[in-house]
Every structure is written in structure tokens, then in C-alpha cells.
């Protein structure tokens, strides 16, 4: 199935048939079933018994019921993340592209996690990438627009709105890690460096990996910008 043909399944109630198509191979279906959470197996208590003792129509019915539940759960994950995108046309396009992406990535699925957890990871990461591409961060979980995540815009925002006094007021409300990383990167709360310190320098100073430095900076900025409106007049 090509990516173009996925466009016929853009509506939420049509996602499940595409997921069925993606998992049509017996090998992948068995991996999906093997990754079913224990609480699901309690919901289908007959499944393991039938699998161990019978090889008849009942087994196939039980297997189909579990697969159907897996696909419905995965479809809800896709719909939930598509809701981050407010524009209807862009949302349909996201779903289409995501399903095409799942079609190519399905062969990499192993039952270390459940099928819906695997779909959730792909849907979430792709939603973030898609929103960045659209330059539109108005999702439920993403309260900041992308420009606020870029270095220059963060600094410009603080200078343009004279936010240093407000930052000092909320400083002690930030977690220790956030305070340390913002101080190391930007010199906050007492000052604001014209040029942020280098990631490598911060990594050596705090004795943490560069990836952790970047992640902490990102979350620290979000935390700070979330607190500032509470002290603004």
C-alpha cells in the first residue's frame, strides 16, 4: 500500500483498517499479541487457555479480538496526538503521513512494549516534528510556540519585556536542576549573558552529558516561562 492510498483513511474511524493492513503478516500479529499488557489479558482470560489447549475456530476468534483491541487502542493514540494540530487539513495530512510512516516502521516492532506504546512513541515524535515544520505549537501539551525554544527568541523575549525582575521573583520556585542549568547557560537570575555559554563548557562544569544539558535547558525554559505570568501585573 503506497502512502497515497493511505489518504482514503484519514478519518478517525478509518484508522483501524489501516492498522490492520499494517499488521497483516502473521509474524507481526504474533508480536503484537505477545506484547499485550497483562491487564488486557485479564480482560480476555480465555485467550491464553485457548492458545495452550486448543487450535480451532475459538482460538482464532480470541486472537482476532485481542488484535482488534490493540488496533483500537493504537487508533485512539493517533487521534489524541492529531488533536495537537488545530488546522483540519494539516491534521488529516499528519494522520496520513503518520500511517505511511507506521507502515515502514512496523517491521521494527518487537514486543518489548505494547503495540499502542510503540505507536504512541512514533505518533508523539512525529507530531512534534510536524508541528515544528508547520511552525505551529498550539497543541494541548505544548504550551509554548517553537520560537520560545530557540536561543535567540528566548533571550529577545526576556529583554523585550524586561522580565528579569519577574524571573527573580519566581526563581526559587524552579527545581534545583533548572536553576543550575539556566544560571550556567544564561547567567540568570542576576544577569543575562549576551551570548549563552557553550554546551561543552556547561557539560564539563556540571559533569553531565551534553544531551542532558540540552534537555535540561529546554525543560528549564518551559518551567520558567510557565511561572512568570503568575507574578506579572
94-141 pLDDT per residue, tens: 888 888 888 888 888 887 778 888 888 888 888 888 877 775 444 433
Place of cell 492498522: 19
Alpha-carbon gap, residue 144 to 77, rounded angstroms: 22
pLDDT at 9 over 50: no
Cell 557539560 belongs to residue: 203
Q: What is the pLDDT of residue 128?
A: 80
Residues 6+ apart with CB under 8 A from 194: none
Q: In the chain, where does the domain assigned CATH 1.10.10 lie?
A: 146-231
Model confidence pTM above 0.75: no
CATH code that applies to domain 146-231: 1.10.10
Give the E-state strand segments of the chain in sequence order.
none
Amino acid at each position: 500500500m503506497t502512502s497515497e492510498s493511505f489518504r482514503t483513511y484519514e478519518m478517525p474511524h478509518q484508522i483501524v483498517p489501516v492498522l490492520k493492513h499494517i499488521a497483516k503478516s502473521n509474524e507481526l500479529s504474533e508480536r503484537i499479541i505477545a506484547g499485550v499488557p497483562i491487564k488486557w489479558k485479564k480482560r480476555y482470560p480465555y485467550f491464553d487457555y485457548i492458545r495452550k489447549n486448543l487450535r480451532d475456530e475459538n482460538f482464532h476468534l480470541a486472537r482476532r479480538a485481542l488484535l482488534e483491541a490493540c488496533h483500537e487502542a493504537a487508533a485512539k493514540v493517533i487521534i489524541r496526538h492529531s488533536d495537537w494540530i488545530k488546522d483540519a487539513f494539516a491534521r488529516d495530512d499528519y494522520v496520513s503521513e503518520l500511517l505511511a510512516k507506521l507502515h515502514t516502521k512496523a517491521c521494527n516492532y518487537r514486543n518489548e512494549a505494547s503495540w499502542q506504546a510503540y505507536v504512541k512513541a512514533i505518533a508523539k515524535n512525529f507530531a512534534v516534528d510536524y508541528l515544528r515544520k508547520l511552525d505551529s505549537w498550539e497543541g494541548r501539551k505544548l504550551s509554548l510556540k517553537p520560537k520560545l525554544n530557540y536561543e535567540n527568541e528566548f533571550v529577545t523575549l526576556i529583554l523585550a519585556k524586561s522580565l528579569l525582575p519577574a524571573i527573580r521573583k519566581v526563581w526559587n520556585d524552579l527545581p534545583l536542576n533548572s536553576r543550575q542549568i539556566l544560571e550556567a547557560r544564561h547567567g540568570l537570575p542576576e544577569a543575562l549573558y549576551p551570548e549563552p555559554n557553550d554546551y561543552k563548557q556547561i557539560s564539563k562544569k556540571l559533569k553531565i552529558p551534553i544531551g542532558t544539558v540540552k534537555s535540561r535547558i529546554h525543560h528549564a525554559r518551559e518551567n520558567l516561562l510557565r511561572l512568570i505570568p503568575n507574578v506579572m501585573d
